[in-house]
Structure 1
């Protein structure tokens, strides 16, 4: 029994050493893709989800449909406000109706008769006052009636002129402002109504769907996450002591272990310092803990070569 244990420990040590030797000659990394989050702008309950995780969507495709009952009520209110404001503005521009003008002309005709009678009465009494046939008090009374008839006749003429020319320009401007305000409110509601449809902003692969049908989507909450098509790249972690061996713009061979170490060519597109230990890409760190860590971003030379690779799968490059 003791002999068997010793043999097993020996085999384990041999495998471990071989694995370490293999790892020591490689730098491990991960396949990454640029991701995008799709959020809602207004609160609503999900009534339909039109995509599945892993599905490909085009820019402009509908991902989900929300139920927003408040928008329908506000739309009816806004449409009523627009109709009312439009009628007010048209009335201020067009002035009085034909029937209103008829009434004013009839009023003018009646006042003209009163004015003519008062004018004749004043002419007759003036002659009688000159001959001292009537007292001055009676003349003053007739003159006052004449002035009143003249004022009323002049006023109705001005009223007819106003309604023919429309109301004051200030009132027309005020009515136009109310109309524009109502139209703006309607446009705002129509914009909110469009937000019931959650639209794909770019061509992408759906990675996660965070809510289900019947759940409430709040403004700003991420409803979908997706990876952008043609955005695959490789991320490797190297210590500062090895940094000089990797140059930006340099071509480098990348191997895909889960595809029998299939090889493709990549280009180092960026080198940046890592600010968090959690971002380390390798599973077997063998560097000095005092070394600063850097991330190599490697883009495939031919993007089509990386389109079929699984996100977060392991890739390797030869250690320099």
Structure 2
């Protein structure tokens, strides 16, 4: 009986030591800040300029899209700008030399008609006094005279307006049309720039979701990757082990299969809302305990730059 009690005591001590050891060393993961690059307008991929695993710099072109609708709208917008500029120029400067020549020729013809009608009415006025013509004949000739005079005065006004330019209201209207045409062109040019998928910052390409010839829809993720120099270590710890940790504390993280340790600083301690976010392998905690994410950032990023994302690291408490 005594031997049995002794064996049970030894077994209990061994189990307790084993659990203490598991609690003393936590396993976590190497992480990097992720970034997703999406398309803003629909287009077919015509060029892929990077491959998975590549490191790219901010501003590098990753892919080029074919956007036929933008090309068509650009041609229309450019034509509208040319037309609007011509309309505004004509409103400000007036008619061209050829237009003025045509108006001058029109004026000469109407002037001759007006002078002939004027002579005719003068003759008929004297004949009417002597009762040589009827009042009706005189009235008909007088109406023609008035019509010829009105046409002649109209062409004089038209020539004057052509030389001085359009009214200020017409100029303002033409200027507004020109500005609207420029705005439409700028909008198309902005959309045209979206055919080039650009890296927003230094990053490594993890996955490319589409192949050449496939259609990229607005908001669809084209590239996934990791931001450069964003490495950190992530652990999941139970509430019972928080007492020895605090934000801003410096601590060493171990690299398995190596004697290397990387010094870091605790930057985040936050509660986990879902068990799917657990990062520590084989965690030892009671089910009723709250779980917390511990994030440690390396003090020297160069020491962690060669670590592979999602590989295991350890933390001794």
TM-score of the aligned structures, taking structure 1 as reference length: 0.82
The residue aligned with 1:57 is 56
Deviation at 1:114, TM superposition (A): 4.5
| 1:67 aligned onto 2:61 | no
Change (3 A) 1:43 1:142: closer
Structure 2 regions of 5+ residues with no counterpart?
A: 1-13
- 1:268 — aligned with what? 266
For the residues of structure 1 that align with 2:66 and 2:108, how far apart are their CA atoms?
Answer: 63
- For 2:297, the equivalent position in structure 1 comes to 299
SS in 2 for 1:253: strand
Task: Tell me by how many angstroms 1:249 deviates.
Answer: 0.8
Please tell me whether residue 170 in structure 1 is matched to residue 169 in structure 2. yes
User: Using the alignment, how far apart are the partners of 1:272 and 1:26 within structure 2?
Assistant: 20
From the superposition, tell whether residues 267 and 89 of structure 1 become closer, same or farther in structure 2 (CA, over 3 Å): same
Alpha-carbon shift at residue 298 of structure 1 (Å): 0.8
Note the C-alpha offset of 1:217: 1.8
| Deviation (angstroms), 1:133 | 2.7
Structure 1 residues 159-198: aligned runs within 5 Å: 159-198=158-197
Q: Which moved more, 1:48-57 or 1:181-190?
A: 181-190
Check whether the contact 2:264–2:297 (CA below 8 A) recurs between aligned residues.
yes
Q: In structure 1, what is the equivalent of residue 7 of structure 2?
A: none
Alignment partners' CA distance in 2, 1:50 and 1:140: 87
Q: Deviations over 1:140-176 (max 9, x none)?
A: 5665555444333322221211211223333333333
More divergent stretch after superposition (169-178 vs 294-303): 169-178
- Give the aligned partner of residue 286 of structure 2: 288
Give the total of aligned pairs. 302
Cα separation, 2, equivalents of 1:85 and 1:50: 39
Q: Which residue of 1 aligns with 2:131?
A: 134
Aligned equivalents of 1:265, 1:92: Cα separation in 2: 74
SS in 2 for 1:164: helix
TM-score, length of structure 2 as denominator length: 0.83
Q: Which residue of 2 aligns with 1:45?
A: 44
Gaps of 5+ in 1: 1-14
Please give the alpha-carbon distance, in whole angstroms, between the structure 2 residues aligned to 1:108 and 1:102.
Answer: 10
C-alpha separation in 2, matches of 1:71 and 1:124:
71
